[in-house]
Structure 1
C-alpha cells in the first residue's frame, strides 16, 4: 500500500509553527506520563521517514504478517479481527494460517503456535494533535479525504481507508468503551481517562525478523493486568491511527516465546473472559469451534499494537 505523502509533509511543516504554541507529542507524553517509559514502537512512529514506502498489515497465522506493495491481498485490514461486531469473511475462515486466536487454557509452557514476527510494520507517522484535528475523519467526508491524499476512489488504498473509518464509526459492543485516536496525545488522554495515569504502555518485542515458524511458550508467562486494560490496535491509514478499546472483561499476559530458529520474543496476549456480546460468526468462534460466552478466548498482538495497564 502506497499513499501520496506530500499533503502529510505539508501538515508536518505547519506543525513546526504550531508547536510554538503547543507541546509536541513527545513533550505531551513526558508531561502527562513522567513515570511511564515510551515503548520503542511509539518512538519509531514519531520519527519515521515519510519518504519510505508504506506497507499494509494483515494478521494471520497466529501472527504477524506484513504485506508490502500497493495491492491488499485479502481486502481486509488487520483491525477486522479485533472489532468483534463483525462476522468472519470467507477468506478468513478458509485461511489455513488463521491461528491468531487460542484458548486461555492453552497458554502454558511447552505449548506451540505458528507465528510470523516482522522487524517493523508500517512507516506511517504520528501527526501532532493540533494538525490531526484539522484533517477530516468521517465516512461522509471520504471523497474529500481521498482527494486530499491523492488516493483513487475504488483503489485498494481507498478501500482500506474507508474500512478504517467505518470500523471507527461502528457501535461499540456491550461492556466496551472504544475510541479511535488520530494522534498520540488523544491516545494518551483516552487511555488515562479509563485506567488513570499510573500506567504502563507495553508492546510485543522480538529479537529479530523471523520467518513463519513454530514458537514454543517458555516458562515465565506473566499476568500483567487483571480485568482492567486499554488495548490499542494500529490501523491501516496514511498517518497513525489507533483503534482503542477498554473492557472490564480482559486479562493481559506477557508470554516468553522461543522460535524454532532460536529467536526469542516477548509477546503480548489478551484474553477475553466474556465473549457473549461478540458476533456469533466472528472468526475466533469459527477457528476455535466454541460458542460465544462459553470460554475465555485469547490472541497475540502484533508489534505495533499497544496495551495500557495499571502499574
Structure 2
C-alpha cells in the first residue's frame, strides 16, 4: 500500500512539475520547488500567470495530501528530487540514499535513547532527506536545525519539512562560517567532499591545509565538533578514503584529541556504482568530563541491503554491542 501511495504522489508531482517546467522554461528542481510551495499552501502564488495558475489549480484538485502518511510524502518528494538531480547536480550535492539515511537514523535512535529531548543539526542538509529521515526515527521530541548554501536546495528542504509537518530551523549560509546556534546533542551529515575555496575562512581551522586549499570534509568535521555538546554524538557519512588522504595524519591527531571513535560501519559495495564511490558511516562522541575511549569500537562490514537474513544478523550484533556500550556508560 505504501509503495502504491508513494508512486501515486510521485507521478502527480513529476507530471505537474514538468507542466510548470515547460511553461516557465526553468530547471526541473526550481519547478518542483514552485509546485511544493503551491501544494503546501493549497493555492497558487501571486507571481504565476493566469494560464499556469489554472493548470496548477486543476492539478491540486486531483490530490489530497491528508490521504498520505509522512513517510509516503517524504518518499515521493525524494523520488522527484532525485529525478531533478540526475543530470544537473554535482556529485557532492547528490541526495543521501534512503537505505543509508535509515541506517543513520537507526544509529541516532540508539545513541539518544536516554535523552528526554534531542537537539539535532545537519550542517550539509541539502534537501533535508537525511535530517527528516533521522527525525522520523527518533522517538523523543526533537529540536532540529539544518544548513545549506544552495538557494534551490534550501527552498526544497524547507518545503520538504513543511509538507512532512516537521519543524526545522534552517540556516541559508556557508556552513563553515559561524552559526547563531547553541551546541546540540547530535549532528548528522553526509559530508561534502572536495576542496574548500575560501582560504581566509579556512585559516580559522586547526585542520586547514599547510599548503593550498583545505579539504572541506575535514573542516566540516572540526566545525561540527564546535557545535556539539560535550559528550554529544556525531554520525557522518564519509568517503572511504577519509583516513588515507594526504592530510589524514592531521585529522587523526585532531580526532584523538577531541573525540572518541564509537564506530565505523562500511557500507556494502553493492550500494555504489564504483569502488571509488564507496562510503562508510563514522560515529564519534565529543570528549567531555564523563566520557571515555571505547576498548572495542563498533567495526562493521555491512552486507548487501538486499540480503535480509545477513542484514538481520548484523543488526542483532549491533544491538548487542549497544547494550554493552550503555551498560559500561552506567558503570
TM-score by length of 1: 0.27
Q: Which has the higher helix share?
A: 2
Q: Could you tell me the TM-score, scaled by structure 2's length?
A: 0.26
Greater Rg by CA = 2
